[in-house]
Amino acid sequence: MLAYLLPVIWAYVHPITVHGRYFVDSVTKEPFYIKGVDYQPGGSSGVSESKDPLSDPNECARDVLLFQDLGINTIRVYSINADLNHDVCMSILATAGIYLVLDVNSPLPGHHLNRYEPWVSYNEEYLENVFKVIEQFSYYNNTLGFFAGNEIINDKTSAKNSPVYVKALIKDIKQYIEYNSPRSIPVGYSAADDLQYRISFSDYLECIDTSPAESVDFYGVNSYQWCGEQTFYSSGYNVLVDDYSTYSKPVFFSEYGCNEVVPRAFEEVQALYSTDMIDVFSGGLVYEFTQEPNNYGLVKLEENGDVKLLKDFMSLKSQYDILPEINYRHVANSMKKNAKQIQTRLKTHKFSLPECEPTYNNLDISKGPPKSLAENLIENGVKTSRGKFVPLDNDQLTSTYKILDVNGDAYFADPKIERVIDIMSGKEITRVHHSRGFHNCTYSDLEDSSDESSDYSSFTDESEEPDSIHTLYFKASKFLRHLYKAIADKFSEN
């Protein structure tokens, strides 16, 4: 019944898991840093009864060609229709080595929380659709995680009425995954960068009263504070790092890319993946891929489906292209410190996660989370088609649409998606190396992770002789894995 007892169907596309405050490749145990874009062609109107961003294979191939050209490893999609088929698009993304973070809400009727009157929209019909999204996308191993909400708390009224409902929804989703999904999948929230609510709400979503299911698995921040020529300090990024320096879960930019100065230079990319930030932030997603009325696009969609690159695309690509290798020894040492912090806390506390406080600044949690309406749905599951990877022929790895550069000329000489993984045979064709230092496939010389018998001392004890970088990854991830298993066992005894 528990998720970790169920078989993983598509094991050769490595799922991403959460160990402490880090995303980690579940097979190689490497830390995973999100390097991606937000993707919702057509904006809120891009999802309907007949279409969504992941339902048209020809359009998916067109855009994945550009994702690979940028060198990204993750996209975020804000809304889909769970009644449509997404197998081909998800297979194309997986073949290209690209992960998905998916919002569970959509603008369709009955498919989102009303931030001002959540008690009206939080019902079985709403939860059934949320669980259909979970049920379908849990079977794609390149589903990195789910967002339970996006900027639901953004003013006084929503801060009064919605916090407890968001927390209840997170618990519902995590319990549905535990009982019905083939693997554990992280569940998080995407917050508006409003100091009145951002920090207090992240603390509230992190805390627990009785169960780890009450706590968010990651926290996304929509940040637009680096505008034009800035630095780590003048932009306030140093303050963001300080704000989340003790947060127990992964934090990343779920949106970023201020457009007050255009074309955007994206100089913040260099800061985001530097040692100033990688201890606390796990990368980010640039807002956004297609040009919409709010003028944040990297590309322009023509009426006939062709795509023209904008100057912002080339600016972002140039920043990604000059990114140095992430300092992985620095990261490994930070993972080690994080594991020791967890171990130290467990010596004096029952749980590694913080207990909930009676109040949080500017939030009304006085009534507590509502009674869950999800029990029957969790127990019985929902009926929907489960996602699966499908064979792709060469024609599906290209697109009939034209891709034009900023001058209107053909951008690719040979527009074809590079096969990174043969998803039907499980063979790794080429190592996923997303433009300097952003890996998400196997190190051939990584230590064998099958030995679960050793204790924590090999990780926590100091040694005069430095470990290899791959050994540090392995020890850090292995220790955190053991630690969270011990915590789960402790809960099961109570």
Residue 479 is predicted with a pLDDT of 60
pLDDT at 445: 27
Average pLDDT over residues 200-205: 98
Return the pLDDT at 302. 97
Buried/exposed code over 294-310 (b: 16+ C-beta within 10 A; e: otherwise): eebbbbbbeeeeebbbb
Q: What is the mean pLDDT of residues 117-139?
A: 98
This prediction's pTM: 0.87
Residues above pLDDT 90, as percent of the chain: 79
Residue 472 has pLDDT above 60, yes or no: no
Cβ atoms of 445 and 470 within 8 Å: the answer is yes
Local confidence band at 421 (pLDDT 50, 70, 90 cut-offs): confident
Q: Is the pLDDT of residue 493 over 70?
A: no
> How confident is the model over 32-86, as pLDDT tens digits?
999 999 999 998 778 999 999 999 999 999 999 999 999 999 999 999 999 999 9
Question: Across residues 260-270, what is the average pLDDT?
Answer: 98
- Name, of 310-319, 325-334, 438-447, the range with top average pLDDT: 310-319
- Of 49-53, 270-274, 317-321, 445-449, the poorest mean pLDDT is in 445-449
Q: What pLDDT, on a 0 to 100 scale, did the predictor assign at position 11? A: 37
Distance CA 335, CA 333 (A): 5
Which pLDDT score is estimated for 487? Answer: 59
DSSP 73-92: -EEEE----TTS--HHHHHH
Q: Is the pLDDT of residue 435 over 50?
A: no
CA distance readout (Å), 381 to 106, 291, 315: 21, 38, 46
Residues serving a catalytic function are: 151, 255
End-to-end CA distance of the chain: 19
Using CA atoms, how far apart are residues 442 and 420, in angstroms rounded to an integer?
12
For residue 313, how many C-alpha atoms fall within 13 Å in the half-sphere facing its CB? 23
Q: Where are the domains of the chain?
A: 16-380
Supply the mean pLDDT for the chain.
88
Q: Closest Cα partner for 74 from 102, 98, 103, 95?
A: 98
Q: Are the CB atoms for 299 and 291 separated by under 8 Å?
A: yes
**16-380 CATH:** 3.20.20.80
pLDDT above 70 as % of the chain: 83
In the block, which residue shows the tokens 């100089």? 267
Q: In which region does residue 305 sit, left (phi positive, over 0), alpha (psi from -120 to 50) or beta (all else)? A: left
DSSP string over 390-408:
----GGGGS-SS-EE-TTS
For 484, the enclosing helix (H) or strand (E) is: helix 469-493
Place of tokens 């769970």: 82
pLDDT tens by residue, 377-419 = 999 999 999 999 999 999 999 999 999 999 999 999 999 999 9
